[in-house]
Structure 1
């Protein structure tokens, strides 16, 4: 009885899928900066009034 060796076919190495994070929209970043500045300015004005 002959026994044949079963060979598995050569598979290509799996490529990693690069998951890129979506970049922050410039409008959202500008809104954040303006909000922080307005908060600081209103805080400064409140300190002057009190």
Structure 2
């Protein structure tokens, strides 16, 4: 009976980590896109002011 109990805890965290990694990718991509757009916008404003 100890055999199934040994494998149950190791599979659950692996699935949780695998499920959480793809959810971080869109958040990081959105942050990257927003930071690039903000940089381009601030550069355009700076060029208009100078």
- Over the aligned positions, Cα root-mean-square deviation in angstroms equals 1.6
Name the larger-Rg structure: 1
The structure 1 segments of at least 4 consecutive aligned residues displaced by more than 6 Å after TM superposition are none
**TM-score if structure 2 supplies the norm length?**
0.52
In structure 2, the gaps of 5 or more residues are: 1-20
* TM-score, scaled to structure 1: 0.52
Alignment length (residue pairs): 29
